[in-house]
Structure 1
Amino acid sequence: MIPKLNPHGEALLQQFREQVPALEQLSKTVYDQLRQVLHEQSVELSAIEYRVKTEQSLAGKLERKGDKYASLEDITDLVGLRIITFYTDDVDKVAAIVQQLYDVDWSNSIDKRKAHELTSFGYNSLHYICRLKEGSAPFEIQMRTALQHVWSAIEHDIGYKGAVKLPPEYRRQFSRLAGMLELADDEFSRLRTTMTDYRRQVQALVKSGKLDEVLLSTDSFSSYLQMHPFNKLNQRIAAVNQAEIFPASLMPYLPILEGFGLETLGDLQRFIDSNGEEAYQLAVSQLAITDLDILAESIGLQNLCLVHILKTGRGRVGLRWFYDTINGTHDSNEMLADMLYEQVASLPFVKK
């Protein structure tokens, strides 16, 4: 139900009704522009939202403090956008981008993160009042982290916001929870920085050839693959049938390598060196009786793993584990393991 307004409030509300289509277009324009630019700048977002204030909401605002607004443009949140980031430092990155894209009304903008109140975590968003550089109605952009957004929603849901007369023990509980979440927000950003530095160190060690100093992990294996360590073996195998190599991910083989007990990239390099010739022999025994002329880029690493299993006497059980790990557990993997084992049992490196 629309509240009863004075003549000034009714006039403002009527102006709003007439401008709704233009305000909706403005909100969509800003949303599309922000989404595109933030994507181009590689800013990972939890969400980006936009809306035009509803007539009911505006009427309520005019009923409470309509005399404060001389014109409709004095109401700066008719169009609102909310940008939710994963990390606190990305809020500042988003703010810098917003400043470049739009004219910011600094007198009406506010950084609520500077409040430093014990229970203010849920309200710690950054609010900019902006206009398009070519001119437009004002619009509000709120920037906050995902944890701040969730906490604000929880506060609203349980009715805490504005409940200053709560008993002290409840207020203390909210303060502790808010402090824990604020600490978590900061620590996630710090952890991301630490992990980024670690990845750079790993990349530097890999490039320098200090492989024994690099633990085998998702990040280090990915960096190692950029050196194309299996290319030489792949090309040698492909030459058997003059085959072409097509791209394939090698990351699914990481659990296999870890299952072999490899702990560093140095271990992996020695694994390649010690099994390379047998991996080629295995390929020859398989390809010589076929006319395959297209091979996956994983062929070299696959054969290295199969050779290691056969050389260490793991036999059919080891082969079944390999296929289950790569293909997912399925009864057909046992048939594959049996078939391969019978085909290669006579090769000199196969340990019975």
Structure 2
Amino acid sequence: MNETSVEKYGLNPSGTMIVEEFRELHPMFEAMLKAVRSILKKAMADNHLYVNAIEARIKDELSLVGKLERKGDKYRHLSDLTDILGARIISFYSDEVDKIAAIVDRLFEVDWENSIDKRKMHEIHSFGYSSLHYICRIPKSLYEDPNFPELNEYRFEIQMRTALQHVWSVLDHDTGYKSGFEIPQDYLRNLNRLAGMLELVDEQFCQIRTGINEYRRQVQALVHSGRFEEVSLDGDSFANYLKLKPFDSLNKRIASINQAEIFETSLMLYLKAFKFLRFNTLGDIEKMIKECSEDAFQLAAYQLGNTDLDIINSSVGVVNLLAVYVLKRGAGVAGLTMVFDEIYGSAKNNAARAEIYFKNAKQLSFMKNV
């Protein structure tokens, strides 16, 4: 509780009454803050929206006094103020602001008359103030506290903006850009240029993400339709390709040699080997599988035939395919070593591993013409 006498602020009678009411209802606003923050966090999680931050605060008493000094004639009661409690949701992308706004609209009672969409401002210096501001109440159907029955009557503000808009707003406030004092034209011009650049960056981030998502959808459709030659080889396409388990058939044949169990592991690291060998599309991998599967099985059978291994790694198929592919092209031990370096990282045992594969492969028919 602030020990300063309210009268010492020198406010008019209504201002003095508002500060006294603020002090009296402060515990209610604290309960309200916890409720709003909890509701917003749960709503973002439920709707799978990953946001930069969710903030909430109760107006500082001195800040309230300052506002009453500036606009004292505008307010008669504490309930006339809409920003005693303020919350802010900071998103990463501009198109998420509208999604968040729709969620807020569903959750709370929105006072549309006092809400404002500052994104509709078109002044060049308005970028940092382009957030969406909703004035809300908490409906009893969503949350109520028997200790504070008036909680559902007081309005509060929710600001929704992007991370770049938020950074600009903070810096803008720090420079005094909006404070009203005369800024030299050179500085004002540079600030205006920066505002335009940040707005463009905000838009570009959103467009890039939209483009990437559309590309991923196209890749998924092409992969699942089997049009592998049309799909460039990259992390996204390879991950989707692996979902089809293209090496499973070979793995099961190899496992049958010793009736072994297959231990599943990620095959994403083998993308580096395919890129190193200049595979450009998923069709190149499919072609390798068709051309080398039988020889890869024979190579694995030669290596496992005299063992009693009853567990094999799910990478066994792709490793033997790569080994056969490299050896068929005459790259020998040196080529195999470089491929193993790509897969496992540079290590001394990669050359020894390559020697073993080469020695075993020399016993098989596919190497006779190499």
The question of a shared fold, defined as TM-score above 0.5 by the shorter chain, is answered with yes
Q: 338, 341, 359: which one pairs with 1:345?
A: 359
Q: Aligned residues, how many?
A: 349
Q: 94, 108, 133: which one pairs with 1:88?
A: 94
**Cα distance in 1, alignment partners of residues 309 and 17 from structure 2:** 79
Q: Is the 8 A contact 1:128 1:142 kept in 2?
A: yes
Q: Secondary structure of the residue that 2:348 maps to in structure 1?
A: helix
The worse-fitting range, judged by mean Cα deviation, of 186-195 and 56-65 is 56-65
Superposed displacement of residue 35, structure 1: 2.0
Which residue of the partner structure matches residue 137 of structure 2? Answer: 131
1:207 is aligned to 2:217: no
Q: Is the 8 A contact 2:341 2:350 kept in 1?
A: no
Structure 1 residue runs without a partner (length 5+): none
Which residue of the partner structure matches residue 199 of structure 2? Answer: 182
Alignment-mate amino acid for residue 69 of structure 2: E
Which residue of the partner structure matches residue 217 of structure 1? Answer: 234
Q: Secondary structure of the residue that 1:127 maps to in structure 2?
A: strand
**Cα distance in 1, alignment partners of residues 232 and 167 from structure 2:** 36
Q: Is the 8 A contact 1:83 1:142 kept in 2?
A: yes
Which residue of the partner structure matches residue 325 of structure 2? Answer: 308
Alignment-mate amino acid for residue 180 of structure 1: M
Q: Secondary structure of the residue that 2:196 maps to in structure 1?
A: helix
Which residue of the partner structure matches residue 248 of structure 2? Answer: 231
Alignment-mate amino acid for residue 257 of structure 2: V
Runs of 4+ off more than 4 Å: 349-352
Tell me how large the CA RMSD over aligned residues is.
Answer: 2.5
Which residue of the partner structure matches residue 37 of structure 1? Answer: 43
Q: Secondary structure of the residue that 2:269 maps to in structure 1?
A: helix
Alignment-mate amino acid for residue 70 of structure 1: R
Q: 6, 9, 19: which one pairs with 1:4?
A: 9
Superposed displacement of residue 344, structure 1: 4.5
Q: Secondary structure of the residue that 1:83 maps to in structure 2?
A: strand
Q: 50, 53, 61: which one pairs with 1:47?
A: 53
**Cα distance in 2, alignment partners of residues 5 and 269 from structure 1:** 82
Alignment-mate amino acid for residue 301 of structure 2: V
Alignment-mate amino acid for residue 188 of structure 2: R
Q: Is the 8 A contact 1:344 1:350 kept in 2?
A: no
Kindly provide the CA deviation profile for residues 127-156 of structure 1, in whole angstroms up to 9, marking residues without a partner as x. Answer: 001111213532211111111112212222
Q: Is the 8 A contact 1:5 1:62 kept in 2?
A: no
Q: What is the percent sequence identity of the aligned residues?
A: 50
CA separation of 1:343 and 1:247: change in aligned 2, threshold 3 A? closer
Q: Secondary structure of the residue that 2:90 maps to in structure 1?
A: strand
CA separation of 1:79 and 1:244: change in aligned 2, threshold 3 A? farther
TM-score (norm 1): 0.89
Q: 342, 355, 358: which one pairs with 1:325?
A: 342
Superposed displacement of residue 340, structure 1: 4.7
CA separation of 1:26 and 1:281: change in aligned 2, threshold 3 A? farther
The worse-fitting range, judged by mean Cα deviation, of 99-108 and 203-212 is 203-212
TM-score (norm 2): 0.85
CA separation of 1:335 and 1:151: change in aligned 2, threshold 3 A? same
**Cα distance in 1, alignment partners of residues 122 and 258 from structure 2:** 70
Which residue of the partner structure matches residue 140 of structure 1? Answer: 157
Kindly provide the CA deviation profile for residues 255-283 of structure 1, in whole angstroms up to 9, marking residues without a partner as x. Answer: 21111110011111102222222322333
Superposed displacement of residue 23, structure 1: 1.9
Which residue of the partner structure matches residue 109 of structure 1? Answer: 115
Kindly provide the CA deviation profile for residues 104-163 of structure 1, in whole angstroms up to 9, marking residues without a partner as x. Answer: 011111101111001110110000011112135322111111111122122223332335
1:172 is aligned to 2:182: no
Which residue of the partner structure matches residue 58 of structure 1? Answer: 64
**Cα distance in 1, alignment partners of residues 328 and 154 from structure 2:** 74
The worse-fitting range, judged by mean Cα deviation, of 65-74 and 256-265 is 65-74
Structure with bigger gyration radius:
2
Alignment-mate amino acid for residue 206 of structure 2: S
**Cα distance in 2, alignment partners of residues 190 and 283 from structure 1:** 48
**Cα distance in 1, alignment partners of residues 241 and 341 from structure 2:** 25
Q: Is the 8 A contact 1:4 1:63 kept in 2?
A: no
Kindly provide the CA deviation profile for residues 175-232 of structure 1, in whole angstroms up to 9, marking residues without a partner as x. Answer: 2221122122122222222222222222222222222121112222222222221111
CA separation of 1:291 and 1:40: change in aligned 2, threshold 3 A? farther
Superposed displacement of residue 51, structure 1: 1.9
Superposed displacement of residue 316, structure 1: 4.4
Q: How does 1:187-198 map to 2 (within 5 A)?
A: 187-198=204-215
Which residue of the partner structure matches residue 147 of structure 2? Answer: none
The worse-fitting range, judged by mean Cα deviation, of 211-220 and 262-271 is 211-220
**Cα distance in 2, alignment partners of residues 343 and 226 from structure 1:** 28
1:75 is aligned to 2:89: no
Q: Is the 8 A contact 1:320 1:334 kept in 2?
A: no
**Cα distance in 2, alignment partners of residues 5 and 56 from structure 1:** 13
Kindly provide the CA deviation profile for residues 305-343 of structure 1, in whole angstroms up to 9, marking residues without a partner as x. Answer: 2333343344444444444433444xxx21243145236
**Cα distance in 2, alignment partners of residues 290 and 36 from structure 1:** 55
**Cα distance in 2, alignment partners of residues 167 and 307 from structure 1:** 71
CA separation of 1:326 and 1:343: change in aligned 2, threshold 3 A? closer
